[in-house]
Copies of this chain bind each other. A is one copy, B any other.
Amino acid sequence: MKADTAWTVRGPLRLADHDPDARPARSSSREADQARLDALALEIDRLQTLMWAQGQAPGPQAARAPRLLLVLQGLDTSGKDGTARAVFSRCSPLGVRVAAFKAPTEEERARDFLWRVHAQVPRAGELVVFNRSHYEDVLVPVVEGGIDAAERDRRLAQIKAFERLLVESGTTVLKCFLHLSKAEQAKRLQARLDDPDKRWKFQASDLATRAKWDDYQAAYETALAATSTAQATWHLIPADSKSNRNLMVAERVVEALRALKLKAPPTDPALEGLRIDGG
C-alpha cells in the first residue's frame, strides 16, 4: 500500500496533467471498495488509539509521543467534510479533532497568518485534521489581490519553516489536495441548491470563486509545488469519485501511521500478573 508516486507533488505542477476523475484506488466492485474503506477506517482507529495512548502514558516520554496533522485542501464541494467523515468514521473523537479555518476574524488578522494555525496543531499523541488551513493565505489573497507575489513568496517560505518546526518536533505532516474538475463542481453546487437540506452549504460567494477557476488552479499549482518537501509532501487526490477520494486519503493516513511503528506504551511492571480480586 505504498503511496503511488504518480500522485505526489515533486517540483513544478500542472494540475491539467492530472485527471480529477482518475480512480487509482478503486476496484471494479463497489462492494469490495466499501469493505476496503471500512477495513482502512478500522485500522486507522487501531493505530490512532495506540498513538493517543503514547501521549497519555505516565512520565516525560508522553510529551514526545508522535502526532499526525492531516491537511485537507480543495475547492468548494471537493469533499473536505465528507473525507474527514469517511476516513475517521471508525475513530473515537478522543484524540481525533477537526480544525476548520474560515475567513480570519479581526483578532486573527491582527497577528501573522500562522498564529491561529499554530494554536491548533496536534498535541503529543493527537491526530488533527485541518479542514482548509494556512494554505488559504497563499490562495485567496493571491487571487483576490490582497497580497503581491513578493509577499506570497515570503509566506510560502514561512510555511515551509513552520512545517519544518512541526516535523522536527515529532509531527507527521500529511497534506492532501482534493483535485476536482470544474464540471463535477457544477453538478455538486447545483445539487446543493436543489436540496433544501443542503442549501445551507451554498453561498453566493461560491460562484464568485468558481468564476476565477483558472486563477485558483494556478495559485494552487504555485503553492503546492513550492511547499511539497520530502518531510511534508503534497498528495494529489483525484476527487471527482468520492470513493476513490476516500480510499486514497485513508490509504495515506494508514501509511503515515504505520510508518510510526506504534506499539502500546510501556506499563508499570508491577501490573504484570496482577489478578483483580472479584470478592
A residues at B contact (CB < 8 Å)? 55, 60, 62-63, 65, 106-107, 109-115, 118-119, 121, 123-125, 154, 158, 161-162, 164-166, 168-169, 171
Closest 5 CB pairs of A and B: A112-B169, A161-B161, A63-B109, A110-B123, A110-B124
Tell me what chain A mostly uses at the interface: helix, strand, loop, or mixed. Answer: helix
| B-chain residues with CB within 8 Å of residue A106 when the two chains form the complex | 62-63
Q: Are A169 and B121 within 8 A (Cβ)? A: no
Q: Are A165 and B161 within 8 A (Cβ)? A: yes
Contact among B62, B111, B121 for A121, CB-based, below 8 A: B111
Q: Are B123 and A107 within 8 A (Cβ)? A: yes
| B-chain residues with CB within 8 Å of residue A62 when the two chains form the complex | 106, 110
* Closest CB in chain B relative to A78 CB, distance in Å: 29
Q: A60-B109, A161-B161 are in contact. List 10 more A-B contacts (CB 8 A).
A: A62-B110, A110-B123, A112-B165, A114-B165, A115-B118, A119-B119, A158-B161, A158-B165, A158-B168, A161-B162
* Closest CB in chain B relative to A147 CB, distance in Å: 11
Contact among B55, B109, B154 for A110, CB-based, below 8 A: B55
Can you name 9 A-B residue pairings with CB atoms under 8 Å?
A63-B106, A65-B110, A112-B121, A112-B165, A112-B169, A115-B118, A118-B118, A158-B165, A158-B168
Given contacts A106-B63, A118-B119, A119-B119, are A111 and B161 in contact (CB under 8 A)? no
| B-chain residues with CB within 8 Å of residue A164 when the two chains form the complex | 158, 161
* Closest CB in chain B relative to A25 CB, distance in Å: 33
In whole angstroms, what is the CA distance A168 to B159 when docked? 13
Nearest residue in B to A171 (C-beta to C-beta)? B112
| B-chain residues with CB within 8 Å of residue A65 when the two chains form the complex | 110
In whole angstroms, what is the CA distance A66 to B166 when docked? 27
